[in-house]
Each structure stands twice: as C-alpha cells, then as structure tokens.
Structure 1
Amino acid sequence: MAAYILGQINITDVETFKRYSEKVSLTVQQYGGRYLVRGGAVDKLEGTFLGRRMVVIEFQSVEAA
C-alpha cells in the first residue's frame, strides 16, 4: 500500500532551500519516492494552511518512506 508524506513549507532563505532541495531530492529517489506535488501557489478552500508551498511525496509503502 502506498504511503504519502505531505509538507506545508515556508521558504525564508532561498539559497539554503536550493541546497536542501537538491539533497532531499536524491534521498527521496534513493528510497523509491516520487514527487506528486512540489511547490506552486496554494488555494485554501477551508481549514488552516500553515505554509506558502505544498509538497506531496509518494512511496511504495510506509516502510520505504
């Protein structure tokens, strides 16, 4: 069964985030994950959204994640 990691993020230091995103992308690939959603504008329909960007990563299982 697939497992998903959802993140709500705010970027406060663009250069540091660029370095981080390069490294984390390699880690996601290493564990068989793939990005379903990465960044972009968010249109909140209801509830509370704490970030300015959204990321959703899919893995084959909870164990893989």
Structure 2
Amino acid sequence: MPAYLISQGTVKDPERMQAYRAAVVPLIAKFEGRYIVRRGKVEVLEGQHDGRSVTIHEFPSIEAIHAFWESPEYASIKDLRLGAADLDLWAVEGV
C-alpha cells in the first residue's frame, strides 16, 4: 500500500536547504520514493492555509518511509536541514 511523506514549512537558510535537497533527492529515490508535489502552490477551496510550502513524496509503503527516515544515510544529511527550515513532517498511509 503506498504511503506519503508530507512536509510543510518555511525555509530560513536557502543555501543550506539547497545543499540538503541535493543530498536528499537521490536518497529518496534509493528508498523508492518520488516527488509528487514539490513546493506546489496551495489553492484553498475551503478552510485556511498558513502560506507555508507543501511537499509530498510517495513511497511504496509506510515501512519504506521508516527505512528512509531511520537510515544511516539520512542521519548523515539531516543536519543540513536542521535550522535551515521550520518544518512539520507527516507520514500517511494511502489506500
């Protein structure tokens, strides 16, 4: 069953975030993840949106998200992101 890693946030240090993206994109692919939304424009149909960008990655399963998130490879690049952006991150199982 597919699963989705969703992030919503604000970039504070664009240079560090660019370095993080350069490192994380191939790692996501290694764990069979792919971008399906990359900082896409949010169009509010009902309710509210706080203006932060949204990114969604699709993985083959929730286990694949955990394998990526808990991998030594990700641990080595996560520090690039910490402090460079304020993010909320969620893992959600699909149907």
Shorter-chain TM-score above 0.5: yes
1:8-46 C-alpha deviation (Å, 9 max, x unpaired)? 010111101100111111211110000000013323344
Q: For 2:17 and 2:7, how far apart are their aligned partners in 1?
A: 14
Q: Normalising by structure 2, what TM-score?
A: 0.60
Q: Which runs of 5+ in 1 are unaligned?
A: none
Larger Rg: 2
Percent identical among aligned pairs is 38
Any idea what SS the aligned residue of 1:16 has? helix
Greater share of residues in helix: 2
**CA 1:23–1:47: 2 relative to 1, 3 Å:** farther
Amino acid at match of 1:18: Q
Equivalenced residue count is: 65
Q: Normalising by structure 1, what TM-score?
A: 0.83
C-alpha displacement of 1:56: 0.3
Greater share of residues in strand: 2
